[in-house]
Structure 1
Amino acid sequence: MSKVNSRLALQSLVVVPPPPSRFTLSEWHLQNRYRNRICLDQLRLADSVIAETDRNIEEVNERTDLNKRDTDHKLAEKIKDIEFNKTEIEKQRKEVVKEIENLTTYMERIKDALNSLKEDALEIVRKCLMLREGRLGIDLCCDGVEKELKKELRVIEGAQGLLLRSLQQANEQVRRLRSTTYFMDRDLEDKGNVLKIDKHNTSLTHTSLNLSIYHGFSPLDPSTVTVQEWEKYTTKNIENGAKEINSARQLRSYVDTLLVQVIDDLRSQCNAVNNAFRRRIEELKEAKTKMEVQHAEVARQVNEITRAITRLEKSISEKEGYMALAHTRLGNRAQRAGMELCKDTVGFSLTSEVAELRSNLSGLQLKMSEARASMRYLLKTQLQLEEDINIKTNSIKIDEVDCMTLRQGIDYHAY
Structure 2
Amino acid sequence: MNLTKIPENALVVLPPAPARFTLNEWYLNNRERFRCVLDQQQLADKILGESDRLREQVTELCGLQKKDVDNKLKEKVLDIEFIKGEIELQRKEVCTELDNLETYLERINDAANSLREKCLKICKKCVALREFRLGIELCHDDVERELLKEVDVITGAQKLLQRVAEEASEQVRRLRSTIYFMDRDLENKENVLKIDQRNLILAETDLSLSMYHGFTPLDPANITYEEWEEFTVRNIENAGKELTSARQMRSYVDTLLKQVIEDLWNQYNIVNDSFRRRIEETKEAKTKMEIQHSEVVRQANEMTRNIHRLQKDLAEKEGFMALAHTRLGNRAQRPGMELCRDMAGVFLESSIRDLREFMVGVQSQLAEAQACLRYLLKTQIQLEEDINIKTNTLKIDEVECMTMRQGMDYHSF
How many angstroms apart in 2 are the aligned matches of 1:251 and 1:206? 57
Match 1:302 to one of 300, 310, 332: 300
Please say which of residues 153-162 and 284-293 is displaced more in the overlay.
153-162
Structure 2 Cα separation of the partners of residues 180 and 236 of structure 1: 11
Alpha-carbon separation, structure 1, partners of 2:364 and 2:336 = 42
What is the DSSP-based 3-state SS (H/G/I as helix, E as strand, rest coil) of the residue aligned with 1:20? coil
Partner of 1:129: 127
Q: Which structure 2 residues correspond to residues 148-227 of structure 1 after superposition, within 5 A?
A: 148-227=146-225
Instruction: Give the superposition deviation at 1:205.
Output: 0.6
- Structure 1 unaligned spans of 5+: 1-5
Bigger mean CA offset, 94-103 vs 14-23 = 14-23
Amino acid at match of 2:91: R
Q: Which residue of 2 aligns with 1:410?
A: 408
Instruction: From the superposition, tell whether residues 397 and 19 of structure 1 become closer, same or farther in structure 2 (CA, over 3 Å).
Output: closer
Q: Which residue number corresponds to residue 68 of structure 1?
A: 66
Q: CA RMSD in A?
A: 2.1
How far apart are 1:32 and its partner, in Å? Answer: 5.5
Q: CA deviation at 1:39?
A: 4.0
* Alignment: residue pair count: 408
Distance 2:305 2:34 in 1: 180
Secondary structure of the structure 1 residue equivalent to 2:243: helix
**Secondary structure of the corresponding residue to residue 204 of structure 2:** coil
Q: Does the C-alpha gap of structure 1 residues 115 and 198 become closer, same or farther in structure 2, counting only changes over 3 Å?
A: same
| Pairing 1:10-49 to 2, within 5 Å after superposition | 10-17=10-17, 19-22=19-22, 25=24, 34-49=32-47
Cα drift, residue 306 of structure 1: 1.5
Counterpart of 1:114 in structure 2 is 112
Q: If the length of structure 2 is used for normalisation, what is the TM-score?
A: 0.93
Distance 1:15 1:96 in 2: 102
Counterparts of 2:327 and 2:124 in 1: how far apart (Å)?
A: 84
SS in 2 for 1:57: helix
Find the counterpart in structure 1 of residue 94 from structure 2. 96
d(CA) in 2 for partners of 1:139 and 1:302?
Answer: 27
Distance (whole Å) between structure 1 residues aligned to residue 218 and residue 19 of structure 2: 67
After superposition, the Cα gap between the structure-2 partners of 1:19 and 1:126, relative to the gap in structure 1 and judged at 3 Å, is closer
The AA in structure 2 aligned to 1:285 is K
Q: Which residue of 2 aligns with 1:390?
A: 388
In the TM superposition, residue 55 of structure 1 has moved relative to its aligned partner by 1.5
* Distance in 2 separating the partners of 1:388 and 1:111: 46
Q: Which residue in 2 is equivalent to 1:356?
A: 354
Q: CA deviation at 1:324?
A: 1.6
Secondary structure of the 1:85 match is: helix
**Could you give the per-residue CA deviations for residues 291-319 of structure 1, whole angstroms, max 9, x where no partner exists?**
01000110111122112212211222222
Q: Using the TM superposition, give the Cα deviation of residue 28 of structure 1 relative to its aligned residue in structure 2, in angstroms.
A: 6.3
In the alignment, which residue of structure 2 is the partner of 1:3? none
TM-superposed deviation, 1:349 = 3.0
- What SS does structure 2 have at the residue aligned with 1:196? helix
Q: Aligned letter for 1:262?
A: V
Question: C-alpha separation between the residues in 1 aligned to 2:34 and 2:14?
Answer: 39
| Structure 2 residue corresponding to 1:321, chosen from 299, 319, 329 | 319
Structure 2: gaps (5+ residues): 1-5
Give 3-state SS (helix, strand or coil) of 1:51's partner: helix
Which of 276, 281, 284 is matched with 1:283 structurally?
281
Shift of 1:48: 2.3
Alpha-carbon offset, residue 347 of structure 1: 3.2
Residues 250-308 of structure 1: per-residue CA shift (max 9 Å, x gap): 11111101111111111111111111111111111101100010001101111221122
